Amino acid sequence: MTNLTLVINFIVLCFVWCIFAQQCEISPHVQRFDCYPEKESSKEKCLERNCCWRLPIEQTNYTDKRLTGIPFCYYPTDFPTYEIISNETTDFGQRIRIQKSQTTYMPHDILNLTVDLIYETQERFRIRIYDSVNKRYEVPLQVPVVEKRANNTDYEIRFGKKPFAILVTRKSTGVTLFDSSVAPLIFADQFIKFSTRLSTPLLYGLGEHQQPLLINVTNEWKRLTFYSRDFPPMENINLYGVHPFHINLERTPDNQTHVHGQFFLNSNAMDIDLQPLPAITYTTIGGIIDLYIFTGPTVENVIEQYWDVIGKPTMPPFWSLGFHLCRWGYNNIENMISTLERMQSANFPIDVQWTDIDAMSSYLDFTYDSEHFHGLPGYVRALQADGIHYVNIIDPGISSTQSAGSYIPYDEGLKRGVFMTKFNSTELIFGKVWPGITAFPDFTNPETIEWWTDIASAFHEVIPFDGMWIDMNEPSSFVDGSQDGCTDNSLDNPPFTPHVHGDALSAKTLCPSAQQLLSSHYNLHSMYGYFEAQATNIALRTIRKKRPFVLSRSTFAGSGRYTAHWTGDNQATFIDMYFSIPAILNFNMFGITHVGADICGFLLDTTEELCVRWMQLGAFYPFMRNHNSLGQKDQDPASFSWEVQQIMKQALLMRYSLIPFWYTLHYEASSKSRTIVQPLFSEYLNDKNTYNIDQQFLIGRALLISPNLLPESNSVHAYIPQDVWYEFPLGVKLSNVGLFTDLDAPISKINVHLRGGFIIPMQIPGDNLVLGRGNPFTLVVAPSQFGNASGNLFWDDGDSIDSIETQTYNYLEFSLTNSNKLTINILVSNYKESAMRLDLIKILGVNTSVNNVIINGKSYSNYLYNIPDQILLIYGLDLDMLSQSSQTIQWTTSNK
């Protein structure tokens, strides 16, 4: 080789290297998108992918905070990606064909894709990207099918041709809602990756994870993994459910705050990476890209738009709003009976008694231990006669080792072909759960739903349970994959595995290659609990002919249509009590509004102080259950000292008095797409102080709950938004608002404040909700700064499946006008079986003395005016709220 050739080659090499180096000189670090997310990355592995390898330079980012988690391996700006080859207008929007000529680092790269841009509604936009040639798995969730393009949208779509990218902006403000140009699109058979810029670092949602409400993307790269998993809640681990939905705040040019949301409709295992650009990256190992963008512009709007896709929450039975008592470790019926008796002797209200797996015979589903829980069927019937309901636990694993003919659930299931099978085989796949070797029903099979209904019905003839608790349905197994291991195919060993706990998709669950009717378990794993909840809901409707109550541990987007949820196997710690608040707030966003956490903690022994604080907080969970584990000491309220019992009782009585308010909120959730509990930022969107608050929350937009979450503390550092607030239930108006303040919070008190502008319906509590249904009602009226307020009340028999559809209910609206006129209007009055008598009205913030009260045109003398607290009490009313279509209560003051 001549010297000239060497020189030329050197010049060419330098030229290529300079070009490559230019593609890698990305500044600042926040623009790096991880090209090697797997463990044990190295320069050699990175460069094999034609990506950039650079160690981070010591620097701070634009917020002057040090960045953490900066990827060493990242995409160059010229990384191979797709370009547009055709674009046509369709009835639903646009259909674009894209292709790329060069494969990338994952096997079976798909070079030709179709992009559907669907203008579904004025506020909802959908992006679908899929293989142009071969049909791929899509999530079997019933979602709206839109065939005609919406007009007058508040979003505008543009796209880059080469490289292909989509840009979505809000027309009214110009703010970017989606921008995929920040990183390359990769679409291989088992690896799909795309990114988009976030509007701000203020991000919420993305469950199920134990994390604060506000997800920090300001100064770190953060990874969240989505794949249903049985593991006690802790941070940085994928947990029981999958909800790839988020809300993102955006600042407008005029310094207002709007909100939009995204929902990635994909059920395969995935990672979602967040970085401080700010940006979000979705990496999934199957299916297609099916992304919804909801333009809000308020939090309530975004959630309503999301629920229009996944479905509204189910309306729970009335009795399920009361106090539930359970434990794993009663061990025998005598202990369970004595626990309930001491609760009743101490005059605690209670509505539901539960049993865990210790009540089963050898842990077999749809059985009870006739030795240790002898007489359970009769005892349940006796409870029901007294208005107390009963819920039992059912796990999906069905024992396969009982002698032939001795265990009907397995024998019938085998005969009817309802169990999951091994890959490409008719042979059953077996895991191991509490009863030993178990087969797993395939709830995507209609035959399974019929079998499930039949065996549940047969057990209901023995023990007439009122609801079903479906646990271990991730699905969970005590062995990895199966008793026989898994295959070595690409379903069990994909080219990329998201960062699931246990490092393998088969860790403590079934092989991904297991077969279900609709698809492989690889695709459906995270929907197992969804389909079981759907089947259980159907079974209960069929068996009881009443409104079903289902409690599921594993959930997926849309599960709220069928089930309630609790946050799983938490611990008896103050930090776990705190994390329950962002959890219930998130699940309300996710459409599972009937949600709570195991009060006082499931694992570890609780303490008196912790249990008191948790009972006070739990009284304001939508779903309220005290539950703990095998080997832990008793923690039912009546097991504590007399003094502690009185404090817990006050919290319970406060909850029970608010049941009409709670029940109406559930009606609004199921019919009007309104969350039951809300974060403060949802109502005070332009108040930056609220963005990071997750130790307080709102109920029905009206009650502000500020619990004490710290040990040995007698105060709560709380934020009181700029508004009118009254102490609840006392009714004294707060003078200091719009600031952080230290509220007195001795062990006997939970701070609750009522927001001005709301009217709260309440009821005198009974021993349980069934016995108290006929008790008189109370109205608490909290005027706004303008002297107005409103409220409503939904009331039916509490159990009928179709009372809403048939309008067999009563619906009343209350309104305060001019600071002195309260009107009760009846909009629907078709439920006549229960008296609705109003006994007391409590009007707050009446700042001048009252000299007369007039009810329906007649003077009324039973009233009291409290001058120091400015409260008007109108008592002894005995007013039938259904007697007239409209009734008025007025009062005159000394200055009128």
782 with 868, same domain? yes
CATH code of residue 869: 2.60.40.1180
Q: Provide the pLDDT for residue 165.
A: 98
Give the tens place of pLDDT for each residue, 71-83.
999 999 999 999 9
Question: Which residues, including other chains, have CB under 8 Å from residue 740's CB and lie 6 or more apart?
Answer: 689, 717, 718, 719, 720
Written as six digits, the tokens of 709 are 């979450």
Number of domains in the chain: 3
Q: Alpha carbon of 258 to those of 201, 278, 297, 674, 687: distances in Å?
A: 13, 17, 5, 18, 12
pLDDT digits (tens, 9 = 90+) for 328-347: 999 999 999 999 999 999 99
Q: What is the mean pLDDT of the chain?
A: 95
Give the model's pLDDT for residue 896: 55
Reported as a pLDDT band with limits 50, 70 and 90, residue 12 is very low
Answer yes or no: is 415 within a domain: no
Q: For the whole model, what pTM was predicted?
A: 0.96
Last residue of a domain, one of 260, 289, 308: 308
Within a domain: 821: yes
Residues 413, 427: Cα–Cα separation, whole Å: 14
Q: Are strands 725-727 and 758-763 parallel, antiparallel or unpaired?
A: unpaired
The residue-averaged pLDDT of 439-451 equals 98
Cα gap 596→18, rounded to integer Å: 58
Determine the Cα–Cα distance for residues 21 and 18; give it in Å rounded to an integer.
Answer: 5
Query: Catalytic: 878?
Result: no
The confidence score (pLDDT) of residue 392 equals: 98
Q: Determine the pLDDT at residue 17.
A: 39
What does the pLDDT read at residue 60?
A: 44
- Hey, which residues does 52 pair with through a beta bridge? 74
Which of 23-37, 103-117, 787-801, 834-848 has the lowest average pLDDT?
Answer: 23-37
Tally of CB atoms within 10 A around 605 = 15
Q: What is the pLDDT of residue 21?
A: 55
Q: Pick from 275, 308, 341: which residue ends a domain?
A: 308
Report whether pLDDT(8) > 90: no
| Of 682, 684, 680, residue with least CA distance to 704 | 680
162 shares a domain with 31: no
- Is there a single domain that holds both residue 49 and residue 153? no
Band (pLDDT 50/70/90 cuts) for residue 56 is: confident
3-state secondary structure (DSSP) of residue 555:
coil
Residues 95, 27, single domain; the answer is no
Q: Are residues 134 and 283 in the same domain?
A: yes
The residue among 278, 308, 338 that closes a domain is 308
Q: Do 168 and 119 fall within a single domain?
A: yes
Mean pLDDT over 417-432 rounds to: 98
In a domain, 773, yes or no: yes
Is the predicted pLDDT of residue 160 greater than 60, yes or no?
yes
**Which of 189, 352, 209, 218 has the alpha carbon at shortest distance from 272?**
209
- Omega before 475 within 30 of 0, i.e. cis: yes
Catalytic, out of 351, 471, 532, 598: 471
Q: Are residues 148 and 46 in the same domain?
A: no
pLDDT tens for 471-490 read 999 999 999 999 999 999 99
Write phi, then psi, for 842 (nearest 5 degrees). -120, 110
Mean pLDDT of 653-681: 98
Confidence bin at 3 (pLDDT 50/70/90): low
Percent of the chain at pLDDT > 70 equals 96
Query: 560 pLDDT exceeds 50?
Result: yes
C-alpha span between 497 and 482 (Å, rounded): 19
The answer to whether residues 47 and 171 belong to one domain is no
Question: In the sheet that 289-294 helps form, which strands lie side by side, from edge to edge?
Answer: 83-89, 93-99, 112-119, 124-131, 289-294, 257-264, 243-251, 203-207, 214-215
Beta-carbon count within 10 A of 113 CB: 21
Q: What's the confidence (pLDDT) of residue 62? A: 40
Same domain, 166 and 52: no
CA 684 – CA 719 distance, rounded (Å) = 12
Q: Is residue 289 part of a domain?
A: yes
Is 471 in the active site? yes
| Single-letter amino acid code for the residue at 843 | I
**Together in a domain, 43 and 144:** no
State the average pLDDT over residues 8-18: 38
Residue with tokens 């009060």: 599
Containing domain of residue 35, as a range?
A: 3-71
Q: Let me know if residue 501 belongs to a domain.
A: no
Split at pLDDT 50, 70, 90, the class of 835 is confident
Q: Report pLDDT for 57.
A: 79
How do residues 378-396 score in pLDDT, each as one tens digit?
A: 999 999 999 999 999 999 9
The residue among 649 and 894 whose pLDDT is bigger is 649
| Model pLDDT, residue 895 | 72
Residue 480 lies in a domain: no
Give the confidence band of 26 by pLDDT, cuts at 50, 70, 90: low
pLDDT digits (tens, 9 = 90+) for 563-611: 999 999 999 999 999 999 999 999 999 999 999 999 999 999 999 999 9
Q: Could you tell me if 8 and 155 lie in one domain?
A: no
Instruction: Decide if 822 contacts 787 (C-beta within 8 A).
Output: no
Residue 503 falls inside a structural domain: no
Nearest by Cα to 213 from 551, 650, 678, 571:
678
Residue 395 belongs to a domain: no
Q: What is the pLDDT of residues 726-751, one digit of tens each?
A: 999 999 999 999 999 999 999 999 99
The residue from 34, 474, 694, 723 that is catalytic is 474
Decide if pLDDT at 318 tops 60.
yes
